[in-house]
Amino acid sequence: MAKQEQIVIGAQVDWWRGAVIYQIYPRSYQDSNGDGIGDLKGITERLDHIATLGADAIWISPFFTSPMKDFGYDVSDYCDVDPMFGTLSDFDALMARAQSLGLKVMIDLVLSHTSDQHPWFKESRRDRTNPRADWYVWAEPKPDGTPPNNWLAIFGGSSWQWDARREQYYLHNFLTSQPDLNLHHEPVQEALLDVVRFWLERGVHGFRLDTINFYFADKYLRDNPSLPKELRNDSIAPGVNPYNHQLHLFDKNQPENLEFLRKFREVLNPYGAAAVGEVGDAQRGLEIMAEYTSGGDKVQMCYPFEMLQPTRLTADLLAETFGRMNAVAPDAWPCWAYSNHDTVRHITRWDLCESAARTYTVLLMCLRGSLCLYQGEELGLPEADIDFEELQDPYGIEFWPEFKGRDGCRTPLPWVTDNANGGFSDGNPWLPVKAPHLNRAVGAQDADPASMLNHYRRALAFRRAHDALRVGDLTDLVATGDLAAFRRLGDEEIFCAFNLGAEQAHIGLPKGNWAAIGGDLGATAAMGGEVTLGPWGFCLMRKE
């Protein structure tokens, strides 16, 4: 697609603000050729499902050329499609189909690191004088031969790997086969921005930026301080991972990132494109979101982990999260999600019954910010129970059995109930389709008005119908026990109250005349200025 055509297409102002973005994990969405792995043609064939759901955009996890040690998050060619997913022509066809359905397309860019099979790294590790010698983070050993500092990798062990060719260590925040790029080196920045331009020229409407706060490491390679046990949490890494024992001051979250994000934004602006950054930080996620989205000259949105944590989102946690955000980032635009390809599905993680899951769905639709839905979330899929012999994820294999990895949320999407693979593939799927998922297949839910799928369709339509929910302010958020209540203000005023507990709760309406809305979602109407909410009940009222 030509640049001028894309500028016209992308000219809608702030299309991303308040958007519902549906995340596709391409390996597991739909297989079109029977090899057991989802692909771009499969996505194209099934885009109608997302359009009828009511999403505004799709985010496709990496499909670039890769040795697949981390299933595409280890890129060996940023500007081509891995053959297992198809071709650039297949991507162009996907773009055309998405646009015909009114869907924006965002793709996942992994700019902090590459695969060790990337030509850049192969050249960089050759010796210390080649043209790309400084393209990755290389460091001398300590005098005793040990790594230059105490930094730890998220996937376990030291984040430094010895390379015999250069007799130096290279940095890897994830797998040893994922060396970190040196963005302190200007040619690296320019090369990455050229990648951005390549995909914008091809028509994409935006990017999800993987590990956005890992782009720069401290140039002095200072040790991270230890983190007291009482301050540790497992929102970024599982509790058994020693990564949680450090306060990660120097291996990520560096101030130099702000200037790079400004350069990145300058590339986006002529295309009307948007970006959402994944902020992986257990202590300062909201503060970093404020830094990265402030001023209108960096990324438009950030994807904090506050609602991806193991702990269920309670009324108090909701109030605390928005209170912190209002304090440090009142103008920031978050992108909220309950589930993604790296976390246990929230139905299982929070141990939700059916009615609780429906209430949390409506709550998400009523929050200020943009939203991400992870494929299968709309079906109410629980985490799949994967046996050790079935594991593919190196993260799970490393920390089994205390941590089972990410395969349980990555199993193929079930489309039909009448075959063992759920209509995902005619071949042997790369991960198994489990029986509990078959019962929740799209085909089983599509025509049932009471299904979770149709509840999501109604919830998305409700959000789309009320601009105050999509783009309005959120104010007066209070938590009383399990009850959370707030107002959304825009071209109308909407009062929202959610009972996030298994006991009955009562609340009075603010002053004024209010009309009940959201009845088709299961909302309870107020009577006489008060409302009694049963377990997991909610109330939605519009001021007249």
| The CATH classification of domain 471-543, taken from the options 2.40.50.100, 2.60.40.1180, 2.40.50.140, 1.10.10.10 | 2.60.40.1180
pLDDT digits (tens, 9 = 90+) for 146-168: 999 999 999 999 999 999 999 99
* Mean per-residue pLDDT, 450-477: 98
Bridging pattern class, strands 530-533 and 505-508: antiparallel
Catalytic residue list: 210, 278
pLDDT digits (tens, 9 = 90+) for 42-56: 999 999 999 999 999
Residue 280: pLDDT band by 50, 70, 90 thresholds? confident
- Provide φ and ψ at 506, rounded to 5°: -125, 145
pLDDT digits (tens, 9 = 90+) for 70-108: 999 999 999 999 999 999 999 999 999 999 999 999 999
Q: What pLDDT does 13 receive?
A: 66
Q: What pLDDT does 8 receive?
A: 33
Place of tokens 């991270």: 224
* Mean per-residue pLDDT, 173-195: 98
CA distance 383 to 406: 10
pLDDT above 70: residue 255: yes
pLDDT above 70: residue 11: no
- N-terminal to C-terminal alpha carbon distance within the chain: 47
DSSP secondary structure, 201-260, as one string: HTT--EEEETTGGGS---TT-PPPPB--GGG---SSS-TTSGGGGB--SSSS--THHHHH
Report the topology of domain 3-114+186-375. TIM Barrel (3.20.20)
Residue 517 to residues 364, 533, 539, 541, Cα–Cα distance (Å)? 16, 15, 8, 5
Cβ-contact 153, 243 below 8 angstroms: yes
pLDDT digits (tens, 9 = 90+) for 394-444: 999 999 998 899 999 999 999 999 999 999 999 999 999 999 999 999 999
* Mean per-residue pLDDT, 319-336: 92
Partners of 207 in beta bridges:
107, 275
User: What region does 269 belong to: left with phi over 0, alpha with psi -120 to 50, or beta?
Assistant: alpha
* Mean per-residue pLDDT, 345-366: 98
pLDDT digits (tens, 9 = 90+) for 286-310: 899 999 998 999 999 998 888 999 9
Residue 528: pLDDT band by 50, 70, 90 thresholds? confident
pLDDT digits (tens, 9 = 90+) for 218-248: 999 999 999 998 888 877 777 888 999 999 9
Mean pLDDT of the chain: 95
pLDDT digits (tens, 9 = 90+) for 114-126: 999 999 999 999 9
Domain boundaries, the chain: 3-114+186-375, 471-543
- Provide φ and ψ at 410, rounded to 5°: -110, 5
CA distance 458 to 476: 26
DSSP secondary structure, 100-122, as one string: HTT-EEEEEE--SB--TTSHHHH
pLDDT above 90: residue 217: yes
Q: What pLDDT does 281 receive?
A: 86
Residue 459: pLDDT band by 50, 70, 90 thresholds? very high
Bridging pattern class, strands 493-499 and 538-543: antiparallel
pLDDT above 50: residue 3: no
Q: Which residues contact 126 (CB under 8 A, 6 or more apart)?
A: 165
Lowest mean pLDDT among 156-165, 278-287, 364-373: 278-287
